[in-house]
Chain A
Amino acid sequence: MTAFGAFFGGFHSFFSIWVFCLMQIVPFIIAFIVASTVREDGPAPEKTDWQPLTISAVSVLGGFIAIFSAIGMVTTPTSKMLFRYMDLLNQFGGVIIGLIALYFIGLLTLGASSETKKKGLLTGFGVLLGASLAVAYKPCVTPTLTIIYNINTSPDNMMWGGTLLVLYTLGISAAILLVGAPLAVFASKAKSANIRLYLKRGCGALLLVVALLMLTDKMTIYKSMLVEGFVPAAEDGSGHSHHDHGGPQPPAAEEGHSRHGDMEHEK
């Protein structure tokens, strides 16, 4: 597994059948970026204001990459601690996302009237939202992630495995940004202030949904609906197919490396 392979694996997963698994996080990250970029007051800006878009995207994706990678580096004390408090962090994340949602809906006012305060608020919200989604996200083992996880499970490979995981998540993030940024620009240019207001509130409502899913511990049910509904089953080892419907098969996995003391991998 090369560094580029890890990045491309993450990027490609967004444009493959695995995007349905990524739907555990993608709509909510994009909703945050759109809601942060859209200004509901005043006329639509003639030029795109890139600052809120950049701040929100970097903070939310940064928070996501940091925590998702930290959890995935399973031999580290940080990962162990995160696992130990996973359920609690999930609840904490649900509350945080709920508050962010209510802020965008307009029910929670935090008195951030100055631009500097707003930027600070946006950055904090972004990091917390990204981190919370990383805790709630239960990834599907895509072919590339299978290899990375199995590299990661050996303490000897911690640095390399961690780097690959960061690159993989960066790849996913780049793909999310590729879709999310144009959407945010498009939404921010809506002529009617009312439309922009409803868009912002709609994004808030979407965030409220994920907050409730996390607080009620129903994220797995949401994931299972996505995967069972959209990702077709492959044949099992005995050669029998287990889903009745047709459709494309998941991409053929590369041979998974395994967690073993003498495991070798290509760098």
Chain B
Amino acid sequence: MTQNGTAVSPQSASTAKRRNLIILLAALAVLLNGAVNFFESRKNSAELIKLGTPLPEFSVKQADGNSISTAAFKGKPVIYYFFANWCPCSHASIGFVKKAAADNAPSGLALFSIGIQDSASEFEKFAQKHDISTPVGVSGGNDVAAMLGIRTTPTTLFVDANGVVQWIFIGKIEKYEAIEKGIAAITGGKVG
């Protein structure tokens, strides 16, 4: 008898069979556990963000433990900035997004930064480092990102006062002009 091309005795063949069985049963158990956890925790099915359609409502926790919902921004144009503290492009882009929020405050533009793919303490570090005074939500478990289909940081969404996604920018923002179109799309053409 051979196994993987090597001759083996009947005794070791039977040991190997038992070992195989144990390994496959263990794999099945892990898989079942994963499946049960997945379907139990699945409160929201994926609603990928789509241009021209409303942003699905979601809520995330803030550093102080209180939850904040997208409903809190009803009636305002909002920039949603998804970041991670370890991501150099998130650090590089936040300045432009903050400038957009500050310059367009007269148009009612709000900024909502949401940390993903990391722990809550890391998001706080990011917020402190960049002195972000606007709301910062944490979705360390990645639920919101998974729900919206966001896989990379930074991802910036431009949502108008009716809650409709008008523009999306994925990746590092190199210059302010790169997002001016998005700002104009949600502020009725005015760019501060």
Contact = CB atoms under 8 A, between A and B. Distances in A.
Contact of A112 (B4, B24, B86, B92): B4
A215 B30 contact: yes
Interface stretch (A28-36, A43-51, A140-148, A170-178): A140-148
A91 B30 contact: yes
Interface string B112-148: 0000011000000000011000000000001000100
Nearest to B122: A224
Among B93, B95, B182: residue with most chain A CB under 10 A: B95
B117 A220 contact: yes
Interface stretch (A7-15, A59-67, A234-242): A234-242
Interface string A214-239: 01000010011101100111111111
Contact of B178 (A98, A139, A256): A256
A75 to B, nearest CB: 8
A169 to B, nearest CB: 14
Contacts of A108: 19-20, 23
Contacts of B96: 236-237
B94 A150 contact: no
B58 interface: no
Chain B contact patch, size range: 35 or more
Interface string A230-267: 01111111111011000000101111101111000000
Interface of B: 2-6, 16, 19-20, 23-24, 27, 30-31, 34-35, 38, 41, 45-46, 48, 50-52, 84-89, 91-99, 117-118, 129-130, 142, 146, 149, 151-153, 167-176, 178-179, 181-182, 185
Interface of A: 39, 41, 71, 74-75, 79-80, 83-88, 91-92, 94-95, 98-99, 102, 106-113, 138-141, 143, 145-146, 149-150, 153-154, 215, 220, 223-225, 227-228, 231-240, 242-243, 250, 252-256, 258-261
21 contacts: A41-B5, A71-B151, A79-B149, A80-B48, A84-B45, A94-B30, A98-B27, A108-B23, A112-B4, A149-B152, A153-B51, A154-B51, A227-B86, A236-B91, A236-B93, A236-B94, A236-B95, A237-B97, A237-B176, A240-B95, A258-B168
